[in-house]
Structure 1
Amino acid sequence: MTSLRERFTADMKEAMKAGEKAKVAAIRLISAALKEKDIEARGAGKGEATADEILGVLQKMIKQRQESIAIYDANNRPELADGERVEVAVISSYLPKQMSDDEVKAAIDKAVAETGATAVKDMGKVIGVLRAAYAGQMDFGKVSPMVKAALGG
């Protein structure tokens, strides 16, 4: 399996040849974000960003764009919102398949059993297990309330 970095480069070349300007721009944004992450890691004495860190960067980029889309829609700027939606689609194509709600609930139940969590104060342990096992496969903004509900919160 090729690494995500190699896939970004290959997809960039392919998009440039095909004249897909929006896709090229989105991949350049991803590359710039990864370079920032690598520089940050080097400053902390680490090497290049790991695959999990790259997934985290991609998820953060998607979240930022979704927030922008909401603002643009609220301010009646559909042309700007559409540009952000294109970027979200390109960035999302690099993330693993997202889990369904039923799969998320099953994963939460498994993590609760695994950690022995019984109350909301144990929520951090459960989220930690889920992040380690399912990075990039679930939206933790939506998962947190589900975990809280599972723990009786």
Structure 2
Amino acid sequence: MTVIERIDQDLKEAMKAKSEQRLSVLRMARTSLKNKQIEMQKDLDDQSAFAVLKTMIKQYQDAISDFQTAGRQDLVEKQQQEIDILSAYLPPAMPVEEVEKIVKEAVAGMQASDMGKAMGAAMKAVDGKADGNTVRAIVQRLLSE
């Protein structure tokens, strides 16, 4: 079952359960996925769907930092719940040790000393299975050694 099919199925279950917040988040996710599908003019594979969901999560995280600055704890909690709902559809994150091993191999393989080139190689190597901030921290540490 693809991610889009899982979201559609959970959308129906949320309607039946009258879970307003879950229903709202899944509708937004479905709309974003549909818009991306129209933009690409082809069906989305799971990797493309994951990219759309990660973009949505990033937007929610940005909103959380804005709400914290404004002192709106109620909205921070709401956004965090929405992130939790969307995160359930993403593959589990790769352990930091495994990310570090892959990044070391990628950076050593190309003898990169420039941050940009090293990040490019590292991000290709982890193939979206790790958070960019985690990869950046590892690359910075490796380059400073």
Counterparts of 2:97 and 2:126 in 1: how far apart (Å)? Answer: 15
Cα deviation digits, residues 7-40 of structure 1 (max 9, x gap)? 0111111111122111111110100111111111
**Residue in structure 2 matched with residue 129 of structure 1 by the alignment:** 125
Please list, as runs of the form range in 1=range in 2, the aligned pairs for 1:1-153 lying within 5 A after superposition: 2-42=1-41, 47-113=42-108, 115-120=109-114, 122-123=117-118, 124-131=120-127, 135=128, 137-152=129-144
Q: What displacement does 1:62 show?
A: 0.6
Q: What displacement does 1:108 show?
A: 1.3
Single out whichever of 97-106 and 61-70 deviates more from structure 2. Answer: 97-106
Cα deviation digits, residues 93-115 of structure 1 (max 9, x gap)? 001111232222122123334x3
Cα deviation digits, residues 73-100 of structure 1 (max 9, x gap)? 1111112112111110000000111123
**Is the contact between residue 99 and residue 126 of structure 2 (CA under 8 Å) also seen in structure 1?**
no
Q: What displacement does 1:152 show?
A: 3.3
TM-score with structure 1 setting the length: 0.84
Counterparts of 1:84 and 1:94 in 2: how far apart (Å)? Answer: 16
Which structure 1 segments of 5+ residues have no match?
none
Which structure 2 segments of 5+ residues have no match?
none
Identity value in percent = 29
Paired residue type of 1:125:
A
**Is the contact between residue 117 and residue 126 of structure 1 (CA under 8 Å) also seen in structure 2?**
no
**Is the contact between residue 67 and residue 73 of structure 2 (CA under 8 Å) also seen in structure 1?**
yes
Number of residue pairs aligned between Structure 1 and Structure 2: 143
